Amino acid sequence: MKLEQTEAWEQGPTDMSATTQSPVVTAALREAAAETDSRQEGLFQYKDLLLMLIWRDIKIRYKQSIMGFFWAVLMPILIIGSGMIVMVVFSTISGHPINKTDVLAVAAKAVPWAFFVAAIRFGTNSLVANKELVTKIYFPRAIMPIAAVLASFFDFAVAESVLAIVLILARVGVSVQIFWLPVLLAALMLFTAGLALLLACANLFFRDVKYLVEVVLTYGIFFTPVFYSAAKLGKWGWILMLNPLGPILESISSVLVLHQPPSPTWLVYSAAWSVLIFLVSWRIFQKSEAAFAEAI
């Protein structure tokens, strides 16, 4: 995989043809033997730039620190609020009272959902918003959507900290299941980053992709188990789980709130999607990168 090779690239140009894309450059590098074409450095070389762009995005949002913090928790609070309304409606119809666990489960799912929405929205625009950089300066373009996703991840971390406090206050407790969390977050990140790469690229070529994305993100919450658990749908629950985000969100809420292990089948299903989406998107992104400066 490309990312791994770039680290080897750091050590020295041992296998140069592997990191290059176009046959022209491949030939060039072979000819140049041990000399590197300085423009073909790997993504790893740009670690500082990636960190700097993430820092920029965070810095700008948190310039007024109160507002920055507010933004990080606003979306999750709104989602939890709407979830409460949905739950009240459900409980009125079914006659079952709302319990604390249900509310907290919605909260545990609302925070990662808010991250997904923000990261995709931000990531989709990342290339077009930095048009000046795309047309004037060379660096691996994948840095931009990835920086956008990681900057949103910072907000997510802030919101998760708030959630942790809420869970502690609600005396939910912690179980050994929490060790699943890194795995679940990795799958969520991979899925989100993959989609962001693909959509950023698509939005560069077709500027109305962002409107389409907006619509899908707005209504996507109804096709994802956030307000309610898939189990509530009874025998049709599996349809909601087909959405790769479904099992991830359900698993997050079950390891944090319900203290139950995630369903292995669904977890594997989601993880497979995440890896697949990321790899395919990465490939498409790399293939079309050369045309960005002309098409933007």
Partner 1 sequence: MGHNGIQFSGVWKKFAKGEKFDSLRDLIPSMAKWLVSGNHRGELRQREFWALKDVSFDVHGQALALIGPNGSGKSTALKLLSGILKPDRGEVHVRGRLGALIELGAGFHPDLTGRENIYLNGTILGMKKAEITRKFDEIVEFSGIGEFIDTPVKRYSSGMYARLGFSVAAHIDPEVLLVDEVLSVGDYHFQQKCFDKMRDFVRKGTTLVFVSHNMAAVSGLCKTALLLKHGVPVFLGDVAGAIQKYYSFYEEETSNDNIELAEVRLRTAAGEERDVFDPGECVVLEVKLKALQDLRNAHAALLIHTVDGQLVFDTATSRLLNNRPLELKKGETATVAFTLDMNLRSGVFLMGFNISSEIDVPGQYIYYNGCVKRVVMSREQKANGIVHLNPRAELTLG
Interface of this chain with partner 1, residues 52 to 71, rule: CB under 8 A:
52-53, 56, 59-60, 63
**Could you give the CA distance from residue 150 to residue 126 in angstroms, rounded to a whole number?**
12
Out of 74, 77, 84, 133, the only residue in the binding site for partner 1 (CB under 8 A) is: 133
**Cβ closest to partner 1, residue 151 vs residue 159:** 151
Residue with tokens 């006659």: 95
Can you state the angle between helices 143-169 and 181-205, rounded to 10 degrees? 140
Q: Which range of residues in 137-145, 153-161, 177-185, 227-235 is near partner 1 by CB under 8 A?
A: 137-145
> Distance of alpha carbon 249 from its chain centroid, rounded?
13
Applying CB under 8 A, the site for partner 1 has a residue count of: 39
Residue number with CB closer to partner 1 (179 or 205): 205
List 92, 99, 101, 135, residue binding partner 1 (CB under 8 A): 135
CB of 138 to partner 1, least distance (A): 4
| From candidates 3, 18, 35, 89, binder to partner 1 by CB under 8 A | 35
**DSSP, residue by residue, 136-205:** H--S-TTHHHHHHHHHHHHHHHHHHHHHHHHHHHTT----GGGGGHHHHHHHHHHHHHHHHHHHHHHHHH
Site for partner 1 in 62-121 (CB under 8 A): 63
Distance CA 126, CA 7 (A): 25
Transcribe 242-271 into DSSP letters. HSTHHHHHHHHHIIIII--PPPHHHHHHHH
**Residue 34 contacts partner 1 per CB under 8 A:** no
Confirm or reject binding of residue 36 to partner 1 (CB under 8 A).
Answer: yes
**Distance of closest approach, residue 284 Cβ to partner 1, in angstroms:** 16
The conformation of residue 81, written as its DSSP 8-state character, comes to H
Question: Cα separation of 19 and 283, whole Å?
Answer: 12
Alpha-carbon distance of 63 to 77, in angstroms, equals 22
Stretch that binds partner 1, among 126-134, 173-181, 244-252, 255-263 (CB under 8 A): 126-134
Kindly give, in sequence order, each residue whose CB lies less than 8 Å from that of residue 294, ignoring residues fewer than 6 positions away.
none
130 counts as binding partner 1 under rule CB under 8 A: yes
The verdict on 290 binding partner 1 (CB under 8 A) reads yes
**What radius of gyration, in Å, describes the C-alpha atoms of the chain?**
21
Binding mask 209-248 toward partner 1 (x if CB under 8 A, else -) reads: x--x------------------------------------
- Residues of this chain that interact with partner 1 (CB under 8 A) are 22, 24, 27-28, 32, 35-40, 48-49, 51-53, 56, 59-60, 63, 130, 132-139, 205-209, 212, 290, 293-295
